[in-house]
Amino acid sequence: MLAAFLGFAACTIKTLSRVFYIAPLFVLGGSHYLTVFSTEQLQALALLFLRVNDQGAGMAFAFFGFAAVLKGYLIFRSNFLPRFLGAWSALAGLGWLTFLSPTLGNRVFPYTAAFGFLGAAAMILWLLMVGVNEQRWKEQASAQISF
């Protein structure tokens, strides 16, 4: 539940930060009511909105990091999926946690994104092609019923 909540919080933050990604289009759109501002002021405001979007994205990545580490731990412990998928998820989450320091996160972003993308692709492909360990799933379900 905590991993799901952290993932949901990350998605919410990322979605809200995208408002600031779109806002420069309105600011620089040349609407009549914006003529009270100078060109430099409008450009500065547009840049501010883009930077706020970047900060929001960095915060979302940190939440994604906590969710991925927790999800990786759960996968590693559950034995429903291969342990390497859990370890990969946890390591990718540690990469996303570099955004707790925005400067570090921005510097290592290409590597973190590539590693995270490959891990997500591996998880998706595994689930589509193989699925979970059904026998282990049924064993655990029957063990919980007997208590």
**Mean pLDDT value across residues 58-87:** 93
Q: Which residue from 71, 53, 74, 73 is spatially nearest to 63, judged by alpha carbons?
A: 71
Confidence category of residue 146, pLDDT binned at 50, 70, 90:
low
pLDDT tens digits along 74-107 = 999 988 889 999 999 999 999 999 999 999 999 9
Report pLDDT for 141: 76
**Mean pLDDT value across residues 116-137:** 90
Residue at 25: amino acid letter? L
Per DSSP, the chain holds a count of helices (H) and strands (E) of 5, 0
